[in-house]
Structure 1
Amino acid sequence: MAPADEARTAGQSGLRERKKRETRVALSQAAIRLCVLHGWADVTIDQIAAEANVSVRTFRNYFASKAEAIAASHLERMLRVADDLLARPAAEPLWDALLHAVLGQFAPPDNSAPHNARWREGVRLMLAEPALAGEIVKANAAAQQELAEAVARRTGTDAERDVHPKLVAAVVAAGSGVAVEHSLRADEPEPLGSVLTRVFEQLAAGLPVP
């Protein structure tokens, strides 16, 4: 195959993968939006597909259930965190780079307060669904693996042989989860960005006793 043909084929393949990823995200976001607003039990796959403007067959090409679709958003967000981490300046300290990468994906650009009380309650109820728990665990495991690979590349370590990148990825995932939970359950709405910043400052400092 000529170089020009190879480049064209690679470009087409990249475009297909990007479109697939965009469809996955659209379906996942539609599932989250409907389940938060209307309740887990009252949302069907047909409704999710319609919300994302695709067929039910397309939904089933990507996900086996609405729980899997919802969990996909967590994986996608952590994949973007890994990409952002690798794009940060090489001289930036690791935990500073991780904070910026996580803030860029978890917190609104203006660090505004979370959604209104109805939305926050809907998210809490959705996350409490037993059917979602297993899918979140699987998505989190895949997310940590990808993040560990990014940490290893950034630090010059081996994600398979060295414990450091795996440990960092696990801590980032846990810390981000704690921040989200705290922000959702706080008596007074608190910007997620502020909570994340405090969490990562404590992690970088070695979790000193308050």
Structure 2
Amino acid sequence: MGLRERKKAETRAALSWAAIRLTVERGFDRVRVEDIAEAAGVSPRTFNNYFASKGEAIAARHLDRLVRIAAELRRRPPAEPLWEALSQAVLAQWVPGPEVVEHPVTDQAEWAAGLRIMLAEPVLQGEVLRAGAVAEAELAAAVAERTGTDLARDLYPHLVAAAVLAASSTATAHFLRTDPPVPVNRLLTEAFALVAAGLPAPS
């Protein structure tokens, strides 16, 4: 990635994180595009160059994280078992970026409560579903490449991609419902171990 592309990616990430942070703090209807742009240190016009709406800006973080799973899977060692590679590819996306380090979450319980409210917004739910569909297609292609299956004919890569996204979303949803919150990395690791084992019944 060249310098120009990296700067654009950083601006996009900063805008998305600002949109999420402000929405969690204030509520979806109390955040304006101007507020998001100011928090990210850019102009409203720059915001509009990246996103068409607040909802799209919020969902962008989810979309970018999911799409990066496919890219990371392609980088994993070819001999690594598939579900281990997938688990590591997912966990790699939860390393905080510079925008999070600059504006860290200080109260995990309060943050989780705000996220629950934010994610209940119908407009945002539609954006999240669209992001998931895009990411699932990308991940299915990466799985097909890794397993030597045919994306057009075989069910397997699509089923694996859907299972990965389901495990990821279930783990993050469980993070939001636990009190006190359980670290999301621990939940993701457990979710992938259970899926890889065939979801055995609890002992």
TM-score (norm 2): 0.89
Once residues 115 and 176 of structure 1 are traced to their aligned partners in structure 2, the CA distance between those partners, rounded to angstroms, is 23
Q: Equivalent residue for 2:89? A: 101
Aligned length: 195
Percentage identity across aligned positions? 58
Contact 2:136 2:162 (C-alpha < 8 Å) held by counterparts: yes
Once residues 107 and 198 of structure 2 are traced to their aligned partners in structure 1, the CA distance between those partners, rounded to angstroms, is 31
Q: Equivalent residue for 1:148? A: 140
Aligned partner letter, 2:17: Q
Contact 1:107 1:193 (C-alpha < 8 Å) held by counterparts: no
Q: Structure 1 stretches of 5 or more lacking a match?
A: 1-10, 109-113
Q: Which has the larger radius of gyration?
A: 1
Q: Runs in 1 of length 4+ with deviation above 4 angstroms?
A: none
1:33 aligned to which of 17, 21, 46: 21
Question: Per-residue deviation at 1:180?
Answer: 0.3
Once residues 128 and 63 of structure 1 are traced to their aligned partners in structure 2, the CA distance between those partners, rounded to angstroms, is 21
Question: Per-residue deviation at 1:158?
Answer: 2.5
Range with bigger deviation, 145-154 or 114-123 = 114-123
Q: Equivalent residue for 1:193? A: 185
**1:54 is aligned to 2:42:** yes
CA spacing shift, 1:54–1:107, aligned 2, 3 Å: closer
Q: How does 1:1-210 map to 2 (within 5 A)?
A: 14-106=2-94, 115-210=107-202
Question: Per-residue deviation at 1:68?
Answer: 0.6
Alignment root-mean-square deviation, CA: 2.1
Once residues 67 and 58 of structure 2 are traced to their aligned partners in structure 1, the CA distance between those partners, rounded to angstroms, is 15
Once residues 81 and 189 of structure 1 are traced to their aligned partners in structure 2, the CA distance between those partners, rounded to angstroms, is 24
TM-score (norm 1): 0.86
Contact 2:140 2:161 (C-alpha < 8 Å) held by counterparts: yes
Q: Structure 2 stretches of 5 or more lacking a match?
A: 97-105
Question: Per-residue deviation at 1:187?
Answer: 2.4
Please give the secondary structure, in 2, of the residue aligned with 1:187: coil
